Chains A and B, each alone.
Chain A
């Protein structure tokens, strides 16, 4: 399909987005999309809508034991029915996570807990994961999660309206004061 034939491509775009084209038609449209960014964007937008339709499918209860079978399949070395463990009690935390949001404008200032005692456990069934809100002027702008087990990980979630040009620094601090900067986004101070 030549570049000039965007009209024909757009005729088939809904069917492409819904994966309802035959192989030959599909190949024809894809060849055009390789060369036409405008049509590509239009197809992407329609595909996004088509994907949303899948979320309308009613939920259904899986057979009994499904959850355990899945967990056993992905973690064959660990029984799915293992009791919840709290391997990092709050009072004896080996290390604390210190988070600060530094930047100009409305995001300026400290955010998050000043010390480890502000952390909460993330909920039933996830007791070894620690949670802390990231706040700015008392308003929650995100969350931080810390899994202190091996391998350990830190997960930060910021709300979409946080400015992308703001500075964000994440530092892991040991009780003895030693700290490691894990993440630093934005321009230097």
Chain B
């Protein structure tokens, strides 16, 4: 039996290289995947992904299993670092044509879907069910950290429309996911 994700993370602080290898091996595709998606360049994505692992290594004790999975924690760390990297150098945030191709990729269940978490599967289903322009706005805001102003500019829509799409899309997603969740009034 392999170590659980939590155990692997807990073992990082021991300085055991085998645990480090196992940890990186288990999560490197997820970490590199989000880094590449946000920064859009393999070399920079590799830098970001490595920084994410180093951050996880130094701050493993800050992981709180009550707030989500190790994978989710690591993905958030990577995303924050990737967004910072992009904002430092950004001129044109995202190519709209990339987004056209990207949304179907997100909605597609991974090949090894037996490993897909139930929540991700549900989220994917809801994302596919809401109006496509709302799904795009939510993805642009969440994954590419774009503001409503930037989304309005790229989509060539009024600012109010961009804000509506973001708001409506996220609330629909949130409402469709199962409890336990706090009420959104």
Contacts and interface: CB of A to CB of B under 8 A. Distances in A.
Interface of A: 10-11, 13-15, 17-22, 38, 41-42, 44-46, 48-63, 66-67, 69-71, 73-75, 78-80, 82, 84-85, 120, 122-123, 125-129, 131, 143, 145, 147, 149, 151, 153, 155, 157
B28 A42 contact: no
B120 A56 contact: yes
B166 A70 contact: no
Chain B interface size, under 10 / 10 to 19 / 20 to 34 / 35 or more:
35 or more
Q: Which 10 A-B pairs have the closest CB atoms?
A: A59-B29, A62-B32, A20-B141, A18-B141, A60-B33, A45-B182, A59-B33, A14-B170, A123-B2, A49-B174
A80 B167 contact: no
Given A10-B184, A45-B183, 4 more contacts: A57-B75, A66-B46, A131-B1, A145-B3
Between A19, A84, A123, A128, the greatest number of chain B beta carbons within 10 A of the residue's beta carbon is seen for A19
Contacts of B108: 58
B24 A143 contact: no
A45 B2 CA distance: 32
Given A15-B148, A15-B166, A120-B1, A53 B123 contact: yes
Contacts, number: 221
Nearest to A60: B33
B167 A67 contact: no
Nearest to B167: A14
Interface string B1-37: 1111011001101111111111011001111111011
A80 to B, nearest CB: 6
Q: Provide the main secondary structure of the chain B interface.
A: helix
Nearest to B5: A157
B161 interface: no
A56 B123 contact: yes
B185 interface: yes
A153 B138 contact: no
A21 B46 contact: no
Contact of B146 (A20, A59, A80, A151): A20
Nearest to B34: A57
Contact of A122 (B1, B50, B110): B1
B154 interface: no
B53 A70 contact: yes
A70 to B, nearest CB: 5
Interface of B: 1-4, 6-7, 10-11, 13-22, 24-25, 28-34, 36-37, 42, 45-46, 49-50, 53-54, 57, 68, 71-72, 75-76, 79, 83, 105-106, 108, 110, 117, 119-120, 123-124, 127, 138-139, 141-143, 145-149, 151, 163, 166-167, 169-171, 173-174, 177, 181-185
A18 B22 contact: no
A97 to B, nearest CB: 14
Given A20-B146, A69-B50, A74-B54, A52 B24 contact: no
Contact of B170 (A49, A71, A126): A49
9 contacts: A20-B151, A45-B184, A46-B171, A52-B72, A62-B46, A63-B46, A125-B18, A128-B18, A151-B15
Contact of A56 (B106, B174, B177): B106
A157 B120 contact: no
Contacts of B177: 49, 52
A55 B120 contact: yes
Contacts of B76: 51, 54
A125 B14 contact: no
